[in-house]
Amino acid sequence: MLTHILSWLIWLPVVGMVIIVFIPRERVDIVRIVAAVATGLQLWLAIILWTQFDPEVGGFQFMERLKWIPSFNIAYTLGVDGLSLPMVLLTPLLSFLAIFVSWNIKQAEKGYFALFLLLDAGMLGVFVALDFFLFYVFWEVMLLPMYFLIGMWGGPQRIYAAIKFFLFTLFGSVLMLIAILALYFTCGQTFDMITLMDTAPVALDGVLWWGMSAIKVIWILLFIGFAIKVPIFPFHTWLPLAHVEAPTAVSVILAGVLLKMGVYGLLRVNYGMLPEAVWWFVGAIAVLGLINVIWGALCALAQKDLKKLVAYSSINHMGYALLGMAAVVAAGEMNGNNFAAAQAGLSGAVFQMFNHGTISAMLFILVGVIYDRAHHREIGGFGGLAKQMPIFAGITAVAFFAGLGLPGLSGFISEFMCFVGAFPVFKTIVIISTLGILINAAYFLRAYQRVFFGELNEKYTDLPEINSRELFAVVPLAIITIFLGIFPAPFLNMIRTTMTEIIDQVVTLGGTIGLF
Amino acid sequence: MDNLQSIQYFWPELIIVFTLIITIFVDFLYSDSASYRTGYWSLAGLVISSLVLSIQGIDVVTTLFRDMLAYDPFALFFKVIIAISTIFIILVSLSTNEYKNTRVGEHFILILVMVLGMMLMVSSIDLIMVYLAIETVSISSFILAGYLKSERRSSESSLKYVIYGAFSSGLMLFGLSILFGLTGTTKIFEIREVLINIGGDAQFAIILAGVFILAGFGYKISAVPFHFWTPDVYEGAPTPITAYLSVAPKAAGFALIIRFFHTVFTDTGALTSTSWLSQTALPWPEIMAILAVITMTLGNLVAIQQDNVKRMLAYSSIAHAGYMLMAIPMLSGEGIQAIMLYMLMYLMMNLGAFFVVIVVKNKTGGETFEDFKGFGWKMPVVGVIMSIFMFSLIGLPPTAGFIGKFYLFAAVIKAGPGFYWLAVIGVINSVISLYYYMRVVRMMFLEGSKQEQTTLPGTLLTVLLICLAVPTLLLGIYWAPVSDWVRNSLMFFTQGL
Residue A313 CB coordination number (10 Å): 28
Residue A93 C-beta-side C-alpha neighbours within 13 Å: 24
Measured between beta carbons, which residues in chain B are less than 8 angstroms from residue A174?
427-428, 430-431
The amino acid at residue A501 is E
The dihedrals phi and psi of B374, each to the nearest 5 degrees, come to 65, 10
pLDDT exceeding 90 applies to what percent of chain A?
34
Task: Please name the residue ranges forming H helices in B9-104.
Answer: 11-29, 38-55, 73-93
Task: State yes or no: pLDDT of B453 exceeds 70.
Answer: yes
Measured between beta carbons, which residues in chain A are less than 8 angstroms from residue B427?
174-175, 177-178
Measured between beta carbons, which residues in chain B are less than 8 angstroms from residue A162?
446
* pLDDT single digits (tens) B165-205: 999 999 999 999 998 998 888 988 888 888 877 767 778 88
Antiparallel, parallel or unpaired: β A61-69 and A74-80: antiparallel
Task: Please name the residue ranges forming H helices in B146-238.
Answer: 152-183, 188-196, 203-220, 229-236
* pLDDT single digits (tens) A304-326: 888 899 999 999 999 999 999 88
* pLDDT single digits (tens) A385-444: 888 888 888 889 999 999 888 888 888 999 999 998 888 888 889 899 888 888 988 898
Higher-confidence residue of A497 and A516: namely A497
Residue B431 in contact with partner chain A when CB distance is under 8 A: yes
pLDDT bin (cut points 50, 70, 90) of residue A512 is low
Question: B213-223 in b/e burial notation, b at 16+ Cβ within 10 A?
Answer: bbbbbbbbbbb
- Return mean pLDDT, chain B: 88
* pLDDT single digits (tens) A59-109: 888 888 888 888 888 999 999 998 999 999 999 999 999 998 888 887 788
pLDDT bin (cut points 50, 70, 90) of residue B246 is very high
Cβ atoms A373, A445 nearer than 8 A: no
Cβ atoms B136, B113 nearer than 8 A: yes
| Terminal C-alpha separation, chain B | 11
Cβ atoms B148, B236 nearer than 8 A: no
Q: How many helices (H) and strands (E) does chain A have?
A: 22, 4
Of the candidates A492, A177, A142, the one whose C-alpha atom is nearest the C-alpha of residue B413 is A177
Rounded to an integer, the average pLDDT of B236-257 is 92
Cα(B1)–Cα(B4) distance, rounded to whole angstroms? 8
Cα(A237)–Cα(A465) distance, rounded to whole angstroms? 35
Task: State yes or no: pLDDT of A460 exceeds 80.
Answer: no
A interface with B, Cβ–Cβ below 8 Å: 68-72, 107-108, 136-137, 140-141, 143-144, 147-148, 151-152, 158-159, 162-163, 166-167, 170-171, 174-175, 177-178, 181-182, 184-185, 209-210, 214
For residue B264, the surrounding DSSP H or E stretch is helix B239-264
Cis peptide before A234 (omega within 30 of 0): yes
Residue of A nearest to B402 (CA): A137
- Angle made by CA atoms A444, A446, A452, in degrees to the nearest 5: 95
**Number of CB pairs < 8 Å for A and B?**
81
State how far Cα A99 lies from the chain centre.
18
Rounded to an integer, the average pLDDT of B301-306 is 92
Rounded to an integer, the average pLDDT of A359-381 is 88
Cα(A396)–Cα(A448) distance, rounded to whole angstroms? 8
Provide the whole-model pTM.
0.93
Of the candidates B391, B138, B386, B89, the one whose C-alpha atom is nearest the C-alpha of residue B238 is B89
Give me the pLDDT at residue B493, please. Answer: 67
Cβ atoms A380, A304 nearer than 8 A: yes
The dihedrals phi and psi of A59, each to the nearest 5 degrees, come to 75, -165
The dihedrals phi and psi of A302, each to the nearest 5 degrees, come to -85, -5
Cα(A178)–Cα(B410) distance, rounded to whole angstroms? 8
Task: State yes or no: pLDDT of B496 exceeds 60.
Answer: no
Task: State yes or no: pLDDT of B442 exceeds 60.
Answer: yes
The dihedrals phi and psi of B282, each to the nearest 5 degrees, come to -75, 145
Residues 6+ apart with CB under 8 A from B402: A140, B392, B395, B396, B476
Task: Please report the sign of the dihedral spanned by the C-alpha atoms of residue A396, residue A401, residue A403, residue A407.
Answer: negative
Cα(A312)–Cα(A302) distance, rounded to whole angstroms? 10
ipTM: 0.91
Cα(A286)–Cα(A271) distance, rounded to whole angstroms? 15
- Return mean pLDDT, chain A: 87
Rounded to an integer, the average pLDDT of A264-285 is 88
- Angle made by CA atoms A171, A174, A178, in degrees to the nearest 5: 140
The dihedrals phi and psi of B399, each to the nearest 5 degrees, come to -125, 165
What is the three-class DSSP state of A61? strand
Burial of residue B235 (number of CB atoms within 10 Å: 0-12, 13-18, 19+): buried
pLDDT bin (cut points 50, 70, 90) of residue A510 is low
Task: State yes or no: pLDDT of B414 exceeds 80.
Answer: yes
Higher-confidence residue of B273 and A46: namely A46
The dihedrals phi and psi of A61, each to the nearest 5 degrees, come to -120, 165
Rounded to an integer, the average pLDDT of B377-400 is 91
Q: How far is A22 from chain B (nearest CA, A)?
A: 13
Give me the pLDDT at residue B210, please. Answer: 86
Poorest-pLDDT segment among A125-129, B284-288, B320-324: B284-288
pLDDT bin (cut points 50, 70, 90) of residue B240 is very high
Task: State yes or no: pLDDT of B279 exceeds 70.
Answer: no
pLDDT bin (cut points 50, 70, 90) of residue A515 is very low
Question: A19-35 in b/e burial notation, b at 16+ Cβ within 10 A?
Answer: bbeebeeeebeebbebb
Q: Give B 22-61 residues with CB within 8 A of chain A.
A: none
Question: Cβ separation of B420 and A175 shorter than 8 Å?
Answer: no
pLDDT exceeding 70 applies to what percent of chain B?
96
3-state secondary structure A444-490: HHHHHHHHHCCCCCHHHCCCCCCCHHHHHHHHHHHHHHHHHHHCCHH
pLDDT bin (cut points 50, 70, 90) of residue B470 is very high
Give me the pLDDT at residue B135, please. Answer: 92
Length of chain A: 516
**Which residues are paired to A69 by β-bridges?**
A74
